[in-house]
Amino acid sequence: MKDRKLMLPAIYENKLDIVATEIAIKYVKDLFEKRLAHHLNLMRISAPLYVSAASGLNDNLNGTERPVSFDIRELADDVEIVHSLAKWKRMALKRYHLEVNKGIYTDMNAIRRDEELDNLHSVYVDQWDWEKIISRHNRNREMLEQTVRNIMKALTETQSELIKVFENLTPFIHQDIHFITTQELEDMYPDLSVKEREYEIVKKYKSVFLMQIGDVMKSGQKHDGRAPDYDDWTLNGDILIYYPILDACVELSSMGIRVDAEKLHEQLMKSDCLDREQLPFHQMLLHGELPLTMGGGIGQSRICLVLLNKAHIGEVQVSAWSEDMIQSCEEAGIHLL
């Protein structure tokens, strides 16, 4: 039985063999993180694979995903493998005592056991997670949009250098990016589903930053779920691109300006999650003990997939897939690592 979630290109040319692919992956990762650090003024730090379940530091994503948890013989509390480092990074910035407009980035490795596996989604998640300190004056849309443009510079500079070395690759990332809110997108395509709207807008503009994700729109629906305790739902968004090889919308990054005390309380109320206010991280935020920040995650394997013209994320990372998916990919010339 064929996997219905799998997208198989009608004609697929695997432009790099397995050795060239591994070389290109390292080239992309090394180059992009340097460009990202340069444009966003970031320093690299180490990061955890797991955090205490009682700390409130794990990313709750949409609130339904189950973290992988386990006990450690010499610790009283269980720990959870991270979903992302959205809240942990803000704590780290407090410890590092960095100045305004300076920040950190790290390699984030996670396990998301409830992902629906397809060309773009894996149980294994690898991101560049970044976070920087901003001033109260800069908690605005202008700061958000300028940061997005700087990330697009880092991406397209990496792309330009890559195709000088691997000349048979086609560049698919466009630096000019269109900004639109979820409400504006719903107003444009009221009769389409959320994913259909995203597809139409990226097909039209190629690179899009879709803003204001997490709150309820005029229709009474959410465009997508967002945890209430890291992004400010009025100042966040996703970087989306159109990817011709899959004829699909691909999300490269989720990011935003983080909640302050007022927004944290407001969004926890809307989400019926006020009990979280008693957790250590939330108490620090409510009492003004954490810096104002912005940050996000940029998918390492997603970037490699697009820049290396691959059709499946399993071509640029090692993960677990169903036997049906592996067989279907092999028949289509898609060789999973």
d(CA 145, CA 185): 17
What end-to-end distance do the CA atoms of the chain give, in Å?
22
Query: Has 59 been annotated as catalytic?
Result: yes
Whole-model pTM: value is 0.92
The pLDDT value recorded for residue 5 is: 83
* Share of residues in the chain with pLDDT > 90 (%): 78
Query: Has 254 been annotated as catalytic?
Result: yes
Neighbours of 153 (CB within 10 A): 16
Phi/psi at 87 (nearest 5 deg)? Answer: -85, -35
Cβ-in-10-Å burial (0-12, 13-18, 19+) of 133 comes to buried
What confidence tens digit (pLDDT) does each residue in 134-154 have? 999 999 999 999 999 999 999
Which contiguous run of DSSP H or E holds residue 209? strand 207-211
300-307 and 141-165 helices, crossing angle to 10°: 50
Q: How far is CA 132 from the centre of its chain?
A: 16
Of 212, 150, 133, 148, nearest to 180 by C-alpha is: 212
**SS3 (DSSP) at 210:** strand
Catalytic residue among 254, 267, 271, 317: 254
Catalytic residue among 33, 35, 80, 112: 112
Query: Has 127 been annotated as catalytic?
Result: yes
Of 49, 59, 99, 55, nearest to 77 by C-alpha is: 55
Q: Over the Cα atoms of the chain, what is R_g?
A: 20
CB 2 within 8 A of CB 328: yes
Query: Has 65 been annotated as catalytic?
Result: no
Query: Has 302 been annotated as catalytic?
Result: no
Phi/psi at 181 (nearest 5 deg)? Answer: -90, 160
Catalytic residue among 59, 80, 157, 231: 59
Query: Has 74 been annotated as catalytic?
Result: no
Phi/psi at 102 (nearest 5 deg)? Answer: -115, 155
What confidence tens digit (pLDDT) does each residue in 162-192 have? 999 999 999 999 999 999 999 999 999 999 9
Query: Could you tell me the two tokens for 120?
Result: 């773009």
Domain residue extents for the chain: 18-331
Catalytic residue among 251, 266, 276, 277: 251
What confidence tens digit (pLDDT) does each residue in 18-44 have? 999 999 999 999 999 999 999 999 999
Residue type, 97: H
Fold of 18-331: BirA Bifunctional Protein; domain 2 (3.30.930)
Of 219, 279, 309, 332, nearest to 25 by C-alpha is: 309
Reading across the β-sheet that carries 79-81, which strands appear in turn?
A: 50-52, 79-81, 69-70
